[in-house]
Amino acid sequence: MTSQYEAYRREYVAGGLTRDMLDACPIRQFESWLEQAVRAGLKDPTAMALATVGEDGMPWQRIVLLKGLSHGGFVFYTNYGSAKAAAIARNPRVSLLFPWNELDRQIIICGRAEKMSVAESASYFITRPRESQIAAWASRQSRPVSARALLEKQVRVFREKFGKGEIPMPDFWGGYRVMPEQIEFWQGGEHRLHDRFRYRRQADASWSVEQLQP
């Protein structure tokens, strides 16, 4: 039986990618592409899919926001009691995907996630909007809740608790830094002849680059 989705296709015509267009450092190349994504007006240029593997061996993905590049690693923040944090504790090898479809581009990053220091996490936490700080206290991320009203009640509880005073960072919340081992840059091409270049970190911390067939 023919699926109605089989006819959904388009040509990728945003432009090609060649080896001499790439920076020798994939982090600088990423920053260049991210800057272009921002200038192009993408709605969520820092949104990335984070893939982890659970205790049952099942892979899982969710969207998180890139909050910086630190010590050559990709930074995001979360509740340390969340499903993603539990998965990382068991297996720190993760993958990130930036799906910039409007530019016919994607970037795939594979590496190891490591917890950031309390000081680093606190430095970011104090910059968050007040309601986001309260939400971090109110939500026990990934745990079941019987009704949204209960979550909203928790928000009210913490609003009253902190009043107009400073909100401290919860000890169950903080950042991760994904230290990349491989980074692939993908540029869509006509007739499905896409351009793919993969960087691999070498033992001496330098990077090798190879072109991949589409």
Residues with a known catalytic role: 192
Q: Which residues contact 184 (CB under 8 A, 6 or more apart)?
A: 107, 108, 109, 196, 197, 198, 199, 212
Q: Report the amino acid identity of residue 186.
A: W
Give the span between the Cα atoms of 34 and 96, in whole angstroms: 14
Q: How far is CA 173 from CA 35, 78, 143, in A?
A: 29, 6, 15
- Strand 73-79 vs strand 173-187: parallel, antiparallel, or unpaired? antiparallel
